[in-house]
Amino acid sequence: MNWANNSAAGGLVIIALGSNLGDSHQILAAAMDRLKALSPAPFLASSLWQTSPVDCPPGSPPFLNAVVGFPAAAGEKPEGMLRTLQALELEFGRRPKQVLNEPRPLDLDLIAFGDEIRQSPELVLPHPRAHRRQFVLGPLSEIAPDLILPGQVKTVAQLRKALRSRERMECVGAPRPTRSK
């Protein structure tokens, strides 16, 4: 299932996931499970993509990336969703930044929250670089190729096709199921 017939972002929450420290497959699968619990339904998740690090310190390992999308819960605000994502990052071992774009076990970026526009020190919506990032557009094109992100006039699929990037990407399949503890 995808949002192919839904060209506007409407009430959809779009979150990009990334990991390049630890068992990234397991981390992303567990994070997707946690995000699915926030979804009133439907919950859409892309495949996992191995991607080259972008704007990261030299020697940074490759990332595993994915994108999920789901309708915003009634009464949910973008700022509340951001706080939830930041708490999940901490729960999965993210530490305060020492260096910009350093390796991390989990990175969750709020790409869009419906048609909401924000420009504050806490939150910029839509994500200001999402439309220029292959590691966002590739996975997002799997679940919502005809989606038009707020502030854009082209669909996700059109943005991806027009993107000139040196990013290397390889689809590595669906996330492995999370292990029971």
Catalytic sites, residue numbers: 94, 104, 107, 109
Classify residue 103 by burial, with Cβ atoms within 10 Å: 0-12, 13-18, 19+: middle
∠52-133-170 over CA atoms, to 5°?
40
Report the largest interatomic distance among the alpha carbons of the chain, rounded to a whole angstrom: 45
How far apart are the C-alpha atoms of 117 and 131, rounded to whole Å?
A: 15
Q: Which of 24, 68, 27, 51 is nearest to 133 (CA)?
A: 51
How far apart are the C-alpha atoms of 1 and 55, rounded to whole Å?
A: 33
